[in-house]
């Protein structure tokens, strides 16, 4: 007799919201950008951050460059050179992370009930709640245009 693993209950799985902010100038800000910025803050290097997040140096450098060009104020400052080189977040870069995290918290808080229902919908025994309009038996005629009303 072999033991089989029970599937993990839906409640144990976390439902998350991931925000992607698109700006009018074509720039964007998403979870990958924020993760890179937080890693640069910690390791003080784009190369070190690329290794830590498991991405190529070129991709990370291009992401930093795109962020620096998206905003009027630089997000990351670089210090090239073999010794003493590296990168660090500017004050605006720190603020950008804080603003993004605040937006995430607001989205989670305001969307908590919706997320709960979406998570519940993953359960095979889920029974959707019907609104009065959606569940009503519609035997009425569709609305007529003004020309058909007379």
Spell 114-147 as b/e; 16+ CB within 10 A means b. ebeeeebeeeeeeeeeeeeeeeeeeeeeeeeeee
Domain-embedded: residue 79: yes
CATH of the domain at 66: 1.10.10.10
Q: What's the distance, Cα to Cα, between the start and end of the chain in Å?
A: 77
Domain contains 59: yes
What's the pLDDT at 81?
75
pLDDT attached to residue 145: 64
pLDDT score of 123: 86
Residues of the chain under the 50 pLDDT cut: 1-2, 10-11, 135
On whether residue 139 sits in a domain, the answer given is no
Cβ–Cβ under 8 Å, residues 27 and 66: yes
In a domain, 129, yes or no: no
Q: Give the count of domains, the chain.
A: 1
What pLDDT, in 10s, does the model give residues 11-23? Answer: 455 788 889 999 9
Does residue 140 fall inside a structural domain?
no
Domain that holds residue 82: 21-120
Q: Look at residue 86 and tell me if it is in a domain.
A: yes
Residue 128 covered by a domain = no
Number of neighbours of residue 25 by Cβ within 10 angstroms: 10
Instruction: Give tens-digit pLDDT for 139-150.
Output: 556 666 666 655
């Amino acid at each position: 007799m072999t033991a089989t693993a029970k599937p993990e209950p839906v409640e144990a799985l976390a439902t998350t919201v991931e925000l992607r902010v698109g700006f009018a100038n074509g720039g964007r800000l998403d979870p990958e950008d924020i993760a890179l910025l937080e890693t640069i803050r910690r390791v003080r290097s784009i190369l070190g951050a690329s290794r830590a997040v498991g991405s190529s140096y070129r991709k990370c450098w291009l992401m930093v460059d795109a962020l620096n060009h998206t905003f009027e104020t630089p997000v990351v400052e670089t210090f090239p050179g073999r010794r003493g080189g590296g990168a660090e977040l500017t004050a605006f870069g720190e603020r950008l992370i804080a603003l993004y995290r605040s937006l995430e918290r607001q989205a989670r808080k305001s969307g908590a009930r919706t997320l709960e229902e979406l998570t519940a919908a993953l359960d095979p025994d889920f029974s959707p709640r019907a609104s009065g309009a959606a569940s009503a038996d519609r035997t009425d005629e569709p609305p007529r245009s003004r020309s058909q009303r007379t």
